[in-house]
Amino acid sequence: MVVTSLTIGAVVGIVLSGGFVYWEVGRYAAPQVPESRFDERREMFAYTAGLFVGVPLAIAYLLFVVELEIGSLIGALGLLAALVAGTEAAEVLLLRSRFWSGPSRPFYALGFRAAIGGIVALAVVAAYFGGPSIGALGIAQTLAVAGAVVVLEVAGALLSLPPDPALNRAGGGPWVGAGIGAVGFFMLGLGEVAGEPTALAAAVVVLIGALLVYYRQRPFLDAVRPPAPPAPTPAAPPAYGRTDVPLADETPASGRR
C-alpha cells in the first residue's frame, strides 16, 4: 500500500510540476520564440535541485498539518515558518550562485519552485492514498490541494524576485513571497483539519488566488533578454614555445653567399 500511494503521489507531482515547466516555461524556449530566453540545461538542473530541496519542505508541511490536527498552534506556526523561510532561503541561494544568476534567473526560479511544489504535492497525495479510507470527495480535495501547492510555489517564485528596473519590476522580494506562501499554506492546512468539504473549498480559493497572482506577474517574463553566448575560447599557445613564423633576423637560405 505504501508503494502504491507513493507511486500515485509521484505521478501527480511530476505531472503537475513537470507539466508546468514543459508548457509554461517552455513557451519561452525555441522554437516557440526566435531565441530561447534561458539555458535549457540550467533549467533542468534547477528543476532537479528543487526535487531534492522539496523533500525536507514536504516533511515540514505534513508535520504542520499534524500539529494543527492535535491543536498545537505554536508548533504548527513554527513548522509553517520553517517551510516558508526554507523555501525563500533556498531560492535566494540558488539565484545568487554564478550558475543560475543573470537575466534568465526568473525562469530558473520557476523551475526550482515548481519542483518543490511537485514534491510537496507528492507528499500530500501519498499521505491521502496511504490512509484508511478513500472516497471521491477526498480524491478531489487531495488533487485540488496538490494543484494549489504547485501554483502557490510558482507564484511565489516570481513574487520573491527582487525589484529590477530592466524588467519593469518595482516591487517584490523574499518577504513578499514569504507572506503569500504563509497565507496560502495556512489556509490549506486549516482546510485539511476542518474536513474534506472545507479542505476542497480552501484549496480552490488558494488555487484561484495563486493563479491570479501568477498571471499578474507573468508579463514581465516577456522582457527577459536571452542569455549571452559564451565567450570564444582563446587559441592555445604552441607547445614548447615552437612557432611556424620565421624570426626577424633569419634570412632565406637561398640568399646566403
CA distance 132 to 54: 26
- Please check whether residue 170 lies inside any domain of the structure: yes
What is the structure's pLDDT at 211? Answer: 96
Question: Under a CB-based contact definition with an 8 Å cutoff, are residues 180 and 80 in contact?
Answer: no
Tell me, yes or no, whether 240 lies in a domain.
Answer: no
Q: Are residues 136 and 96 in contact, defined by beta-carbon separation less than 8 angstroms?
A: no
Q: Which three cell numbers stand for residue 34?
A: 526566435
Asked whether residue 246 is assigned to any structural domain, the reply reads no
DSSP three-state, residue 246: coil
| Number of domains making up the chain | 1
pLDDT digit string (tens) for 150-204? 999 999 999 999 887 767 776 778 899 999 999 999 999 999 888 889 999 999 9
| Residue 247 located in a structural domain | no
Whether 234 is in a domain gets the answer no
Q: Tell me if 194 is assigned to some domain.
A: yes
pTM, two decimal places: 0.86
pLDDT at 188: 95
- What's the CA gap between 149 and 84, in Å, rounded? 12
Enumerate the H helices of 97-244 as residue ranges.
105-129, 136-159, 174-194, 196-217
Q: Is 150 left (phi over 0), alpha (psi -120 to 50) or beta?
A: alpha
> How high is the pLDDT of residue 50?
96
| Regions in the chain scoring below 70 on pLDDT | 1, 166, 170, 228-257
Give a yes or no: residue 212 inside a domain.
yes
Residue 230 included in any domain: no
**Cβ neighbours, 10 Å, residue 179:** 13
- The pLDDT of residue 114 is 97
Domain that holds residue 103: 2-225
Residue 223's pLDDT is 83
Q: What is the pLDDT of residue 257?
A: 47
